Amino acid sequence: MKGQLPRETVEAIVAGDHGDAFAVLGMHRTDGGVAVRAFLPGAAAVAVIEARTGQRVATLERLDDDGFFAGLVAGRGPFPYRLAVDWPGGASEELEDPYRFPPVLGELDVHLFAEGRHLEVDRKLGAHLTTLDGVAGTAFAVWAPNAKRVSVVGAFNHWDGRRHPMRKRVECGIWEIFLPGVGEGALYKYELKTAWGDLLPLKADPVAFRSEHPPRTASVVADLERLRLDDAAWMRRRAERNQRHAPISIYEVHLGSWKRVPGEGERYLTWRELAQDLVPYARHMGFTHIELLPISEFPFDGSWGYQPIGLFAPTSRFGPPEDFAAFIEACHHHDVGLIIDWVPGHFPNDPHGLVWFDGTHLYEHADPRKGQHMDWGTLIYNFGRNEVANFLYANALFWIDRYHVDGLRVDAVASMLYLDYSRKADEWIPNQYGGNENLEAIDFLKRMNELVHLREGAVTFAEESTAWPAVSRPTYLGGLGFSYKWNMGWMHDTLVYMSKEPIHRKHHHDQLTFGLLYAWTENFVLPLSHDEVVHGKGSLLGRMPGDRWQKFANLRCYFGFMWTYPGKKLLFMGGEFGQEREWNHDASLDWHLTDDPLHRGVQTLLRDLNHLYREVRALHVLDCEAGGFQWIDCQDWEHSVISYLRFDDDGGYAVVVCNFTPVVREAYRVGVPRGGWHREAINTDAAPYGGGNVGNGGGVMAEETPWHGRPFSVSLTLPPLATLVLLPA
C-alpha cells in the first residue's frame, strides 16, 4: 500500500510505546491518498463507513496480528466516518473512532494553563461529558508533561493502555482525548509511561469529580454541569453571615463517626441522611456553621481525610456529588453555613495518586528536604511551580464556585510557612535570604486568599499555631490574607488551666488572662477541635478534674467562659453533650449519653449559649476589636474568679463572672456601667443544665455603690464552678 507506515511505527503503536498516536491513527492524507489507521486488538476485520451516507468506503488491511489495520479510502478527506468491526465468533459493531476528532482544549486554555493562570482547571481537565460533531462521549485531559505516553483506561477498553493513547499538547504538557460512547458512571484511570519507557502504576485522575468507594481507587465519570443549587436566598446574605461582626459558632464534624446506622452493620449515613439529621440538629443547637473534616476523596480512613488524593471529588463514602450538593442546599435552607477543611500543604504517597505522577517529581519537590513531611510521611507540593499552584488555586475556587461552600479552613498552615518545621538542623534548606520562611508557600497562601475573597462572602480560616504576624490581615497590609485564625494559644492555656485541681488554679491564673494581651492582633476563632480529643488526650469531660458532678460543672463553667470570651467559636462534635470517651473515628458518638440528665444538661447549656451568643450583640459584634471587651477584675487569683464586660457598638453590654472553684461565694461584688435591673441570662449551675441551682433568683439590681472604678455595682452569689452572664434590662 502506498504511504504505508514503517514497521517500527506499527510496532510502537502495538506495544504502546508511541508518543504521538494521533499522528498515526485516524484519517490522514498521505502521498498515496487518504489513509485510515486503527488499532483494535482482537478484531477480525475492519471497514470504514462514511458517516453522512452510511456507505462502506474501504476495507482496512491487517498489518499486525495484534490488531493494527490500515487502508486507503476514496475521496479527498478528511471526513466523518465510523469503523465497522467484525469480531471473532461472528459479532460485529460500528464504532466511532476517537482518532478522527479534533483537539478538545482551546488555544486560550492551553496558553493560560502554561502560564499557571487558568483558574477554571476543573472546566477543562478531568473527565467531561461532551458532544463533538454530534457524537456523545467523554473528553479526558490530564497534565503529565514528562510522560512518554499517556492513555485513558477503563472497562470500555478492557483496561488496556495500548488502545487509547492520548494527544499531547506540547505547549503545556496536557494529554487529551475524546472517547465516544463513554458515559456517566464509567470507571477510568490513566496509564503512563515514563520518558525512559517504564510503566507507572495506574493513576487516578487528579481532577476527577467522583471516585470509587475506598479501598477501590478508580476515578468515575461524573456530570457536574447539571448541578444547580437552590440556595439563592442564602447566597445573597452570605457575606453578612460570615463577616467579623457576625456571630460565628462552628460545629466541627467528622462525618464517618458523627452517627452511624447500627441496624445496618454500622454503616455511614449518606449525604442525604446527613442533610435530614445533622443539619437540623446543628440548627437546633444554635450553631451558625458546620465545619467538615476533609471531604476530598482520600484512601485511608485513619487519616480522617487529611491525606487527600482526589481534591476535586467529594468522598464517595457518603454518596455521589449530586447528593453532596443536596447536603449543602440543606445547610443553606436551614441558615447554616458550610466550611470544609482544605489540605493544600501535603499529599500521601499512595502509588495511584500524585506522587511521581509522570515519572518525575511533578507535583512534589524533588529534594526531600523541601518535599517531604518527616512526621507524617507525606509529600509537599512544589508551590513555586506555576502549574502546581494553579491546580491548588483552581481547587479552592472549585468548592466555592461549584458547590457554594462558604469557607475553607486551611490545614497545617504552620507547616507550610516554615522550611524547618519539625525538622532537624540538617533536614532543611534555607531560603534565598538564609531564612527559614517558605517564601513560595507564603506567596501561594496570599494569592489563594486574594482569589477566594473575590467570591462575595467566602472566607478562609488558618490553622496556624505559631507567632507568625498578621495571618488574618489583608495582603495589601502585609498579612497572609486569611479571614480568621485559630487561637491555638488560648486553647492550650485554658485547657491546661481547666485540667488543674481547683485548689491549684490560683497559681495558674495567668493562663486565663494572658490571651487578652494579644486578642486583637488577629481575627480569632477559639477552637476546641478534634485534635484536643485524640491521641491519648481523652475527651473534654475527661480532662476536667474532680468527681463526676465536678467534672460536669467544670465543663459547663468552661463553656460559659468560652462562649463569652472574645472570638468566634468552634467545638468538635460530642463536646456539646459531654462525650466521655476519647473520639474514635471508627465508631459513632455515644448518643445514648444524652439520656443521662448531666449529659443532657451540657447539651441544653450549649444550645442556650449559642442562642445567647447569636442574640446578644455585645457577645459577638466586636469579637475581633478591643472595644468589645473590658476587664472588671482579672486579679482575683486568690479566689480563682474573673469578671469582665462585653460591649457592642451601640452602648449595650453583658456582664460575665466566672468562678473556677467549687466554693459558693456570697455577696461577691462587681462593678457595672449603670444602674437598674440586670437579668441572669445564663447560670451554668442552673438545674436544667444539671447544676445545683445556686444563683441570684433570676437577676439582681445594680446599686449606686462604686466598685472596680465604675459608678454602680451588683452583689452576687457566685455558684460553684460556674459562669454567670448578666444583661441590663
Q: Which fold has domain 107-220?
A: Immunoglobulin-like (2.60.40)
The stretch 559-571 carries a mean pLDDT of: 98
Between 680 and 115, residue with greater pLDDT? 680
- Model pLDDT, residue 374: 84
The stretch 87-95 carries a mean pLDDT of: 93
CA 560 to chain centre: 30
The stretch 91-118 carries a mean pLDDT of: 93
- Model pLDDT, residue 169: 96
The stretch 110-130 carries a mean pLDDT of: 94
From the candidates 411, 608, 680, 685, give the one annotated as an active-site residue.
411
DSSP string, 480-536: ---SEEE-HHHHHHHHHHHHS-HHHHGGGTHHHHGGGGTTTSS-EEEEE-GGGGSTT
pTM for this predicted structure: 0.96
Q: What is the C-alpha separation between 444 and 521, in angstroms, rounded? A: 22
**Direct distance between the N- and C-terminal alpha carbons of the chain, in angstroms, rounded to an integer:** 99
Band of the pLDDT at 263, cuts 50, 70, 90? confident
In the residue annotation, 411 being an active-site residue is answered as yes
Of 287, 281, 214, residue with least CA distance to 250: 287
Q: Which fold has domain 626-728?
A: Immunoglobulin-like (2.60.40)
C-alpha cell at 217: 481507587
**What share of the chain in percent tops pLDDT 90?**
95
Q: Is it the case that residue 2 has pLDDT exceeding 50?
A: no
Q: Is it the case that residue 476 has pLDDT exceeding 70?
A: yes
Q: Is it the case that residue 181 has pLDDT exceeding 50?
A: yes
Of 455, 482, 451, 452, residue with least CA distance to 469: 482
- Model pLDDT, residue 1: 47
Q: Is it the case that residue 694 has pLDDT exceeding 50?
A: yes
**Sequence spans of domains, the chain:** 7-100, 107-220, 626-728
From the candidates 191, 463, 633, 685, give the one annotated as an active-site residue.
463
Neighbouring CB atoms inside 10 A of 445's CB total 26
Neighbouring CB atoms inside 10 A of 57's CB total 19
Domains 107-220 and 626-728 share a fold: yes
CATH number of 7-100: 2.60.40.10
E strand intervals along 603-728: 629-633, 641-647, 653-659, 665-672, 676-683, 699-702, 712-718, 722-728
pLDDT digit string, tens, across residues 405-445: 999 999 999 999 999 999 999 899 999 999 999 999 999 99
Q: Is it the case that residue 78 has pLDDT exceeding 90?
A: no
pLDDT digit string, tens, across residues 322-378: 999 999 999 999 999 999 999 999 999 999 999 999 999 999 999 999 989 888 889
Q: What is the C-alpha separation between 555 and 564, in angstroms, rounded? A: 14
Of 45, 23, 19, residue with least CA distance to 35: 23
Between 32 and 196, residue with greater pLDDT? 196
Band of the pLDDT at 32, cuts 50, 70, 90? confident
Q: What is the C-alpha separation between 177 and 185, in angstroms, rounded? A: 18
- Model pLDDT, residue 339: 98
- Model pLDDT, residue 244: 96
